[in-house]
Amino acid sequence: MMTKQINVGGVLIGGGAPITIQSMTNTPTQNRAATLDQIKKLAAAGCEIVRVTVPDMEAVRALGKIKESSPIPVVADIHFDYKLALEAVAAGADKVRINPGNIGGEDRVKAVAGACRLHNVPIRIGVNGGSLEKPILEKYGKICPEGMVESAFGHIRLLNKFDFDNICVSLKSSSVPVTMRACQLMSQTSDYPLHIGVTEAGTVRMGTLKSAVGIGGLLALGIGDTIRVSLSADPVEEVYAAREILKAAGVRREGPELVSCPTCGRTKIDLIALANEVEERLKAVDKPITVAVMGCAVNGPGEAAAADCGIAGGTGEGLLFQKGKIIKKVPQDLLVDELFKLIETL
């Protein structure tokens, strides 16, 4: 169903807005310079909303300063301490991630809802399978999608009670099927925008795979308004993975897409190294083009006719082609440079 729309510091989530990429810094927020430096790197990689942890007052003060220079909206991640939420909103946070059921009473929820309303700051309710409330765990006997959705509605009801509706919700588990089912259930029963992701997904390889299946699968079902890939890695890798997932799911067409052949007995070139090199250099390109790296001159240009441009391997030399048409032969060691010269002209 079409979700409601929220505004996170000028970036829209839900209600048909483009699906946004989020990430989280892993520097101590108190270290302003390091955190801001990382935010700038994340933004340059394509991150559109960034979350920072706010564990104490020193972090709140740093958040205020970070906000002044951040190129993208900043979300305050807060656990349990409602005073930090109030201070973070006052310091300029664009969104707060907090679970109102965990902050110790309705007066506190009322205070946080009031502050967020005053500053037009949305709240993300972040249900994590690993920290479900005890009564829910006892009721269902295990971590399950139904329990996660029940937990989300518990938090939502608390905010609604104080007339607060500027909400987005996430339901994450380290299990892909549990995450997917929970988000499906949620989207059938609520129209709050959904932040989707698989939590504690793992290292770059496994985490990207799990996220691609979980996030990509949900996006293919039309579920999800903003995404975060969680990786045990430099968060910039999360942004690269998120970009690829959005592209592979066909929901955003920004930046280049690389296609490369699987290689076969006809392959006349070190295609794997070439594809890796082209992929790396494409990170600095933001044109919405498809670039092909193909293993042989006989079939490559034709098989990649749908690509905007590409290279195909030959013996000692290769071909540069554009929309399936051969432009010229190029010595093998100059192939990639020639390809990027062509890309500059597109």
Catalog residues that contact ligand SF4 under the rule CB under 6 A. Answer: 261-264, 266-267, 294-296, 299-300, 303
- Give the dihedral sign, CA 33/255/342/345: negative
- Least distance in angstroms from the C-beta of 276 to ligand SF4: 16
Q: Which is nearer to ligand SF4, 48 or 303 (CB)?
A: 303
Give the nearest residue (CB) to ligand SF4.
295
- Give the dihedral sign, CA 151/155/158/163: negative
List the Cα angle 128/197/243 in 5-degree steps: 160
Q: Which is nearer to ligand SF4, 63 or 261 (CB)?
A: 261
Answer for the pair 292, 309: CB distance below 8 angstroms, yes or no: yes
- Least distance in angstroms from the C-beta of 295 to ligand SF4: 3
Answer for the pair 271, 262: CB distance below 8 angstroms, yes or no: no
184: tokens are: 């499906």
Q: What is the DSSP string of 99-159?
A: -GGGSSSHHHHHHHHHHHHHHT--EEEEEEGGG--HHHHHHHSS--HHHHHHHHHHHHHHH
103: Cβ–Cβ under 8 A, 6 or more apart, which residues? 80, 81, 82, 85, 109, 112
104: Cβ–Cβ under 8 A, 6 or more apart, which residues? 80, 82
Query: Which residues on adjacent β-strands are paired with residue 227?
Result: 21, 196
Q: Which is nearer to ligand SF4, 128 or 299 (CB)?
A: 299
- Least distance in angstroms from the C-beta of 312 to ligand SF4: 7
- Least distance in angstroms from the C-beta of 294 to ligand SF4: 4
Q: Which is nearer to ligand SF4, 207 or 314 (CB)?
A: 314
Answer for the pair 156, 190: CB distance below 8 angstroms, yes or no: yes
Q: Nearest 5°: phi and psi at 344?
A: -60, -30
- Least distance in angstroms from the C-beta of 246 to ligand SF4: 26
- Least distance in angstroms from the C-beta of 268 to ligand SF4: 7
What SS3 class is residue 311? strand
Q: Which is nearer to ligand SF4, 63 or 292 (CB)?
A: 292
- Least distance in angstroms from the C-beta of 264 to ligand SF4: 3
Q: Which is nearer to ligand SF4, 33 or 264 (CB)?
A: 264
Q: Which is nearer to ligand SF4, 267 or 276 (CB)?
A: 267
- Least distance in angstroms from the C-beta of 253 to ligand SF4: 24
Q: Which is nearer to ligand SF4, 101 or 301 (CB)?
A: 301
Cα–Cα dist 105/63, whole Å = 26
